[in-house]
Amino acid sequence: MDITHKKRKLAKPQPSAAQSSQKRRKTAPQIKSKRAVALDKLQWKTVDVPEMFDDAEGFYGLEEVEGVDIVREGDTVKFVTAAPPASTDASGDEFGGFDDAPEATAAAAVDGQDMTPSEQPEEQNQTPKPKQEKEKSKTQLKKEQKKKEVKDKKETEKAKAKVAEKDDPELESDVFAKLGDIEDEAEDTDLSAWVPLDLSPTIMSAIGRLKFASPTLIQKRTIPKILEGLDVIGKASTGSGKTLAFGIPIVEQWLARLEQQKKEEARKGPIALILAPTRELAHQITNHIKELCAGLTTGPYICSVTGGLSVLKQQRQLEKADIVIGTPGRLWEVMSGNSKLLNGFKQIQFLVVDEADRLLTEGHFKEAEEILKALDRTVTNEDDDSDSDEEAETGPKRQTLVFSATFNKDLQQKLAGKGKYNLMDEKEEMEYLLKKLNFRGEPKFIDVNPVSQMAEKLKEGLVECGAMEKDLYLYALLMLQPTRRALVFTNSISIHSEMAQKARLRSLERFKAPKTGTHEPILVATDVAARGLDISGIELVIHYHVPRAADAYVHRSGRTARASSSGLSIMLCAPEEVVPTRRLVAKVHAAAQVKSGKSTKSSKDMGFFVRTIDIDRKLVSRLRERVVLAKKIADATLAKERGSKDENWMKAAAEELGVDYDSEELEAAGKWGGRGSGRKKKEKEAKEMTKAELGALKAELKMMLSQRINTGVSEKYITGSGVDINELLKGVEGQFLGRVDGLDIDV
Ligand SMILES: Nc1ncnc2c1ncn2[C@@H]1O[C@H](COP(=O)(O)OP(=O)(O)OP(=O)(O)O)[C@@H](O)[C@H]1O
C-alpha cells in the first residue's frame, strides 16, 4: 500500500442528498479553532477507488478528511479539527466505539498534516460506522481486506521485480513496464465476485487481466471443491467456462508448488495431465490456460501433445512441461516406452478428462486405458519404491476431474459409482476404464444446469427441403445471413474434401480471424469440431446433415450462443428426416422439462422446441442455377484430385505386384463396374473434363454471381457479393423469409 500520499482516511457511508448539499455549502471555510464536529459535518472529499469497487455489494465508496483527530472519551468518540496539536490523547488508544450524537463538544485537536503516516493513530485508518452499518459491512470488510492483500502482494511482486531488474542487467527493462500495464488492466476489472473462491492474489490478477468480472456458475461451484482436494465430475452447458473451472485450480496449485520448488531447489514433473478427445480441442484448452497464465511473472510450461510435431520433439517438450494437454492416441505414442516421462506422469496432481463422454466412449478408450494403466502402474525407478508401495495401498494421490456438457445417463451413474448401466457393446470397456479412472473416493458430482444442456440464448429452427436440395438451401440460408459468422456441420468429410490436418487447422484459424470482406466467414466441419471448440462470434450453426444423436445436437448447437451471447441453430431436414429430428430435439428439451417439473403439453408438442423456417421457395429457385453449376465445378475438381490419388495408388500397387498398369484395360475388365458404377461413370466424366471446360464453367459461374437476384419483393435484389438483409427487409415486414418470427431471424 502506498502510504506516502495517504492522509487520514476515514471511510464512511455515502451521505444522503441532504447531507451532500450541506457538505457542498461548507467546503470553502477554513477552520481556525479547535472544536468537535459531527461526523457528517466534516469536510469529506471523495477518494478515487478502482472501478472494481463500483458495484461491490455493501460498499458505498470512500471519502477522506484531513486535519481531524479522533478523541475518545469513555465510551464516546469526538472528531476534533483545526486546532494546534496540544492536549490530544489520540495516540495509541484503541478505538472503543463512538457515539451517535450529532454534535460533540470541544475536547482536543491535532493538526494531522504535521504528522508522518507512521505517527498517525492506528484507529484513524479504521472505519467508523453506525452500528447497523457495521453489521451490514462484514462482507465488505472481507472484500476490502482481500483487495488490500491483492494490492500488497502486487506491490511486493513489483518491488521484487524491480530488484531483479537491477540484479540482472540483461533483462529487458520494458518487461516491468508491461507488468505494470497488465496490473493496471487487471485493476480495471471489478473482481469482487471472485473473492469467495479464496484464490491467491496472483491468480486474481491473472483473471483480472482476462477481464472476467465474475466466475461462471460451473467455476463458482467447482473451483472451491477442487481446491479442497476433491475429485469432481462437472457438468455444465456448452460455452459455460468449464476449461477455467479446472484450469484455475491447476494453475493455482502450480503456483503454490512453485514456492515449494524454489525452497527445495528441485523441479517436479508435470502437475496436470488433461485428456481431450480432439486435436483442436487440445489446442484450444492449451491456449486458454496459456492466456490465463500470460500475466504471471513466472508461469507454468504448458504443452499440448497432438499430431503434427515429431515424437522426439514432443518428448523433449514433455520433459520440462508442467501442464500437459493431449489427445489419448498421440499422448500414448509419445509417453509409452519412455520410462522417465512415465514416471513423471505418475506423480501428477491432477488428471482431467475433458468432454468425458466422448473421450470415454468413442473409440479413444484403448489409448486412454493404456494411459490410465500406466499412470497407476508401480513406479519403476528404484528411488521411488517406497512411494509406489504407499500408492498401491492408498490409491493414487492425484485428483481426478471429469468434465462435459453432456453425460450419457449411464456414464453419469457409473461415474458417480451408482446403479447399473447398460452401454451395449462398449459396456465392458467402459466398466474397465471407469475403474481405471480410480477416483479417490466418491467423486463430487456438480451439475450446474440439470435442466438444460442448451445455452439459454439459443434459438432453434428447421428448414424442410428435398434431400438433394440441401446445397441449395444451405446457399440460400448463407446468402440471407451474410452478417452472421456461420459454422456448417456435416456428417461426412466429403464436403470438405478430406483436408489434411494442417489445412484443417489453417481453415480454423482463418475462420476465427476477424472479418475482412463483406461476408462473415463460413466454416464447414464434421462432428469433430462439435465438441468444445470455442470460437467467439459464431452466430449461426447450420446442420447440413441432421445430427445422429441428441448429444451431437447439443454440442453442435453449443458452438453458438456461448458465454451469454445469442445464436441460431438451423437444421436442414429432408421430409423423411423431419419427424425423427423433431423427436431427437424434443428428447433433449423434454428431459429438461421433466427435470424442472415444467412438463406441460409443450413437451409433447414436438414443434414447440424447433420452429419451422419457411424460406421463400421462389427466391430459392432463383438460386438453383448457380448451385447446380457450382456443384458441377466442385465435383470435377474433387474427382480430378481423387482420380489422381486413385491412379497413383493403382500404379504403386501394380508396381509392387510387378504387373503392367493400364487404367483403360482395368476398367474394361470391369474392375470399375458393379455397384456404384453410375457414380463412377459420372466421376469419370468429371475427371475427364478438360482444364478449358472447367475454366469456362468457372467463368460462367462468376458471371452468374455478379448478377443480382430478384427477390420478388419490391425492387430489391440479392447480388453476387452479398445481400443487405436490413435493406431487403425494409418495408417488407417479414414476408421475405416467411414464418421466421419465432427465431428473430431478421438481422
Ligand atoms: N468467468 C468468465 N467470464 C467470462 N467469460 C468466461 C469466463 N470463463 C470463461 N469464459 C469464456 O467463455 C468461453 C467459453 O468457455 P469454455 O470454452 O471453457 O466453455 P466450455 O464450457 O468448455 O464449453 P464446451 O462444453 O462447448 O467445451 C471462452 O471464450 C472463455 O474465454
Query: What residue type is assigned to position 693 of the chain?
Result: E
Shared-domain flag, residues 442 and 471? no
Cβ neighbours around 136 below 10 Å, total: 15
* pLDDT value of position 303: 92
Shared-domain flag, residues 226 and 363? yes
Q: Whose CA is nearest to atom 9 of ligand 1?
A: 241
Shared-domain flag, residues 470 and 566? yes
**Is the CB of residue 478 less than 8 Å from the CB of residue 486?**
yes
Question: How far apart are alpha carbons 473 and 175 in whole angstroms?
Answer: 53
Question: Between the CA of residue 294 and those of 186, 206, 302, 568, what are the distances in Å?
Answer: 12, 7, 11, 33
Cβ neighbours around 694 below 10 Å, total: 16
CA 175 from centroid of its chain's CA atoms: 28
Torsion of CA 581, 583, 585, 587, to 10 degrees: -150
Question: How far apart are alpha carbons 646 and 231 in whole angstroms?
Answer: 51
Q: Does residue 461 come out as left (phi exceeding 0), alpha (psi in the -120 to 50 range) or beta?
A: beta
* pLDDT value of position 479: 80
- H/E stretch holding 35 reads strand 35-36
Tell me what ipTM this predicted complex has.
0.97
**Which ligand 1 atom sits nearest the alpha carbon of residue 534?**
17
Shared-domain flag, residues 637 and 562? no
Shared-domain flag, residues 224 and 367? yes
Total-model pTM: 0.49
> Ligand 1 — pocket residues by CB below 6 A?
212, 215-216, 219, 236, 238-244, 405, 532, 534, 536, 558, 562-563
Sign of CA pseudo-dihedral 723, 725, 728, 734:
positive
CATH classification at residue 248: 3.40.50.300
Q: Which of 40, 64, 177, 178 is nearest to 112 (CA)?
A: 64
Q: Whose CA is nearest to atom 1 of ligand 1?
A: 215
In a domain, 59, yes or no: no
In a domain, 631, yes or no: yes
Spacing, Cα 565 to ligand 1 middle (Å) = 12
Spacing, Cα 241 to ligand 1 middle (Å) = 3
Question: How far apart are alpha carbons 399 and 441 in whole angstroms?
Answer: 10
Q: Whose CA is nearest to atom 22 of ligand 1?
A: 242
**Is the CB of residue 541 less than 8 Å from the CB of residue 291?**
no
Q: Which of 237, 244, 284 is nearest to 558 (CA)?
A: 237
- Mean pLDDT per 10-residue interval, the chain, length 747 residues: 34 39 38 64 64 40 68 68 44 28 28 31 34 48 63 56 39 36 58 91 92 91 93 82 95 90 75 90 92 90 85 86 92 86 90 79 72 72 45 66 71 50 42 67 74 69 88 86 82 61 71 71 77 77 89 83 78 91 80 52 51 80 88 82 64 65 54 52 71 87 78 46 38 31 35
- Determine how β-strand 522-525 pairs with β-strand 485-489: parallel
CA 289 from centroid of its chain's CA atoms: 10
Question: How far apart are alpha carbons 581 and 592 in whole angstroms?
Answer: 17
**Which ligand 1 atom sits nearest the alpha carbon of residue 405?**
25
Residue 550 domain boundaries: 458-496+504-596
Spacing, Cα 405 to ligand 1 middle (Å) = 12
Shared-domain flag, residues 557 and 687? no
- Residue by residue, what is the 3-state secondary structure of 318-370? HHCCCEEEECHHHHHHHHCCCHHHHHHHHCCCEEEEECHHHHHHCCCHHHHHH
Question: How far apart are alpha carbons 615 and 599 in whole angstroms?
Answer: 31
- Determine how β-strand 567-573 pairs with β-strand 444-447: unpaired
In a domain, 702, yes or no: yes
**Is the CB of residue 13 less than 8 Å from the CB of residue 133?**
yes
Q: Which of 380, 359, 382, 384 is nearest to 436 (CA)?
A: 359
Question: Between the CA of residue 78 and those of 87, 99, 111, 130, what are the distances in Å?
Answer: 14, 8, 15, 14
In a domain, 476, yes or no: yes
Cβ neighbours around 540 below 10 Å, total: 23
Shared-domain flag, residues 352 and 489? no
Shared-domain flag, residues 623 and 729? yes
- Determine how β-strand 458-464 pairs with β-strand 567-573: parallel
Question: How far apart are alpha carbons 505 and 379 in whole angstroms?
Answer: 37
Shared-domain flag, residues 442 and 515? no
Shared-domain flag, residues 223 and 334? yes
**Is the CB of residue 53 less than 8 Å from the CB of residue 137?**
no
In a domain, 104, yes or no: no
- H/E stretch holding 259 reads helix 242-264
Spacing, Cα 536 to ligand 1 middle (Å) = 10
Which DSSP symbol is given to 57?
Answer: T
In a domain, 239, yes or no: yes
Shared-domain flag, residues 329 and 470? no
**Is the CB of residue 203 less than 8 Å from the CB of residue 248?**
yes
* pLDDT value of position 185: 52
> What share of residues in the chain are helix, strand, coil (percent, to 5)?
50, 10, 40
Shared-domain flag, residues 428 and 572? no
User: How many domains, the chain?
Assistant: 3
* pLDDT value of position 223: 96
In a domain, 259, yes or no: yes
Spacing, Cα 539 to ligand 1 middle (Å) = 16
In a domain, 519, yes or no: yes
Q: Whose CA is nearest to atom 15 of ligand 1?
A: 241
Question: How far apart are alpha carbons 249 and 244 in whole angstroms?
Answer: 8
Q: Whose CA is nearest to atom 8 of ligand 1?
A: 241
CA 710 from centroid of its chain's CA atoms: 42
